[in-house]
Structure 1
Amino acid sequence: MSVHTLPSRDFARDVSNAKRLASDGPVFITDRGKPAFALLKIEDYYRLSKTKPRSLLEVMDAIPGGDFDFEVPRMDGEFKPASFD
């Protein structure tokens, strides 16, 4: 595993290169010579943060107020197809 450093200008110019480098190890992105951001593989992030990926269902279930009863009103009447003449 190698550690790479990229100036923010190089990162902005060639994101594909940064992603390639990140597959080998973390990439530090500098702003005016000082490390400002780190790019790493998602597996490494989960390992470092000791979290596991969540499914879409888990994310949606975590949204507050998402559990309520809703009854669809019945529409009575006769409907005709639209005419585009």
Structure 2
Amino acid sequence: MPITTLSSREFNQDASGAKKAAANGPVFITDRGQPRHVLLSIEEYRRLAGDRRNIVDALAMPDAEAIEFEPPRATIGSRPADFD
């Protein structure tokens, strides 16, 4: 997998070329000689990210109605105030 490195200026001048290069491997975009960004194809990103669930899916309970839960009825009684 070839790695392509472009300066920010090169990327700005040829974004379509960077997208084509990303089809073959990651494209590192530098700023003042330091890597700052990486351009990946969506397929490569999904491969790296894996199949992650979001928080809503992780907390969802699709079979919650099948769980039997009968909490006891709350009994609230009154007591005289204690002023001591």
TM-score (norm 1): 0.59
**1:56 corresponding residue in structure 2:** none
Length, aligned pairs only: 54
- For 1:48, the aligned partner's letter is L
> How far apart are the structure 2 equivalents of 1:20 and 1:42?
12
| 1:34-73 alignment, distance < 5 Å | 34-51=34-51
Q: Distance in 1 between matches of 2:13 and 2:51?
A: 32
Shift of 1:51: 2.8
Deviations 1:1-25 (A, max 9, x none): 1011000000001101101111110
Where in structure 1 are there 5+ consecutive unaligned residues? 53-60, 63-85
Structure 2: give runs of 5+ residues left out of the alignment: 58-84
Distance (Å, rounded) in 1 between the aligned partners of 2:32 and 2:19: 21
Say which one has the larger Rg.
2
Tell me the amino acid that sits aligned with residue 16 of structure 2: S
Give CA deviations for 1:28-73 in whole Å, capped at 9, x if unaligned: 0000000000001101101101137xxxxxxxx98xxxxxxxxxxx
Letter in 2 for 1:5: T
